[in-house]
Amino acid sequence: MTQLPVLTLEEITADWLSEILQARVVSVTATPIGTGQVGATYRLTLDYGSGSGPSTLVIKLPSNDPLSRATGKSHMTYIRESRFYQLFAGRKPMAVPSHLYIAFDEDSHAFTLLMHDLPQHRAGNQLVAATLREAALAMEAAATFHAGWWGDPMLDKLDWLSGTRAVPPQLDIEAIYAMFWPAFCDRYGERVTENMRTVGEAFVGRINQWSESRTGERCLTHNDFRPDNMLYHLDDPAKPIVIVDWQTVGVGTGAGDIAYYLGTALDPETRKVQERALFDIYLDSLKANGVTNLGIATAWDDYRRSAIAGFLMGVTASMVVGQTDRGDTMFLAMCERSAAMVLDHRDLAIPS
């Protein structure tokens, strides 16, 4: 793989962009966008003088927050996203941004990701429950990248993917959760609801048991599949939804991404009524994308066993990224919605 130089925001100059775009850029300005906790994303506005080219681009860099940046390196989130764009994006039909440049530094884990902008798309918002139309689009989008590498043994040869079998697990998830759960309760106090406490306590000492209970065909998974990581333009027939933030990309069961999304994106009552219909949209989309060895009953059971996924992310991620008011509200919402899902499916969702 060609080693391209990593650039800082200050090095994204008009001259450098002129070389990338093969068009004379006169000036460029950067404006922060997005709500990411681990990455820093900017919209670049380009002036061509008398020439022409894309008026805006998007660039993503490591976080400016030292704690979040250290987390990005230690948890391998920066290498995962960089390698995803180097090895997967654009290789098969997927609802992902088109990128112009991707560079990664092995030592520091600094990276530079330059992408085409989608100015007509709006960002999803984790704090506002998704609509059924948005949820259906998410089901279809997940099926594209799950199907693209469905059961592909190559995935387990990549030691940078989350959940890979190429190397032993680098983190003791059982111990991490046992440490973070009481810290989560201490931080948020009375904001931790009864449902959250019931579910949180039920998984202390049972994370590995839960993980080993999940079956199903392994595939490429996003692992943070929720509205904040989606862009929508419902009137765009080509790309009504685009999935971003591939920092947690890994290998796992596709039903896990679906449970994560439906458990964190929908309000619990809507999810309870609509989840089977939305799951069926996902299954139909898998088939439309060429998956033939699909056990429907097994997939549904694995979806139910995966109900805790969003809760685990809410607890652990809140403890390792820079704390913000929005972040606190978001993590609590994820945990509360996911806790309701776990309790709705407790016969399979909670290890016995």
Q: Is residue 169 scored above 70 in pLDDT?
A: no
**Pick from 2-6, 20-24, 147-151: least confident:** 2-6
Predicted confidence at residue 68, as pLDDT, reads 81
d(CA 248, CA 316): 13
Mean pLDDT value of segment 7-29: 95
Predicted confidence at residue 2, as pLDDT, reads 58
- CA 194 from chain centre, in angstroms, equals 27
Mean pLDDT value of segment 175-196: 96
Q: Is residue 1 scored above 60 in pLDDT?
A: no
- In one letter, which amino acid is 144? T
Q: Reduce the DSSP state of residue 140 to 3 states and report it.
A: helix
Q: Is residue 177 scored above 60 in pLDDT?
A: yes
Q: What are the residue boundaries of the structural domains of the chain, listed by start? A: 9-116, 122-349
Task: Indicate the average pLDDT of the chain.
Answer: 92
Paired tokens of 186: 């201490």
Q: Is residue 8 scored above 70 in pLDDT?
A: yes
SS3 for 247-309, per residue?
CCCEEEEHHHHHHHHHHHHCCHHHHHHHHHHHHHHHHHHHHHCCCCCCCHHHHHHHHHHHHHH
Predicted confidence at residue 142, as pLDDT, reads 97
CATH number of the domain located at residue range(s) 9-116 in this protein: 3.30.200.20
pLDDT tier at 170, thresholds 50, 70, 90: low
Predicted confidence at residue 171, as pLDDT, reads 67
Paired tokens of 173: 């998830």
Q: Is residue 220 scored above 70 in pLDDT?
A: yes
Mean pLDDT value of segment 279-305: 94
Predicted confidence at residue 270, as pLDDT, reads 97
pLDDT tier at 168, thresholds 50, 70, 90: low
Q: What is the pTM assigned to this prediction?
A: 0.89
Architecture of domain 122-349: Alpha-Beta Complex (3.90)
Highest mean pLDDT (candidates 59-73, 150-164, 263-277):
263-277
**E-strand spans in 63-214?**
99-104, 111-116, 122-123
Tens-digit pLDDT profile for residues 323-348 = 889 999 999 999 999 999 999 999 99
Tens-digit pLDDT profile for residues 83-126 = 999 999 988 889 999 999 999 999 999 999 999 999 999 989 99
Highest mean pLDDT (candidates 160-164, 165-169, 213-217):
160-164
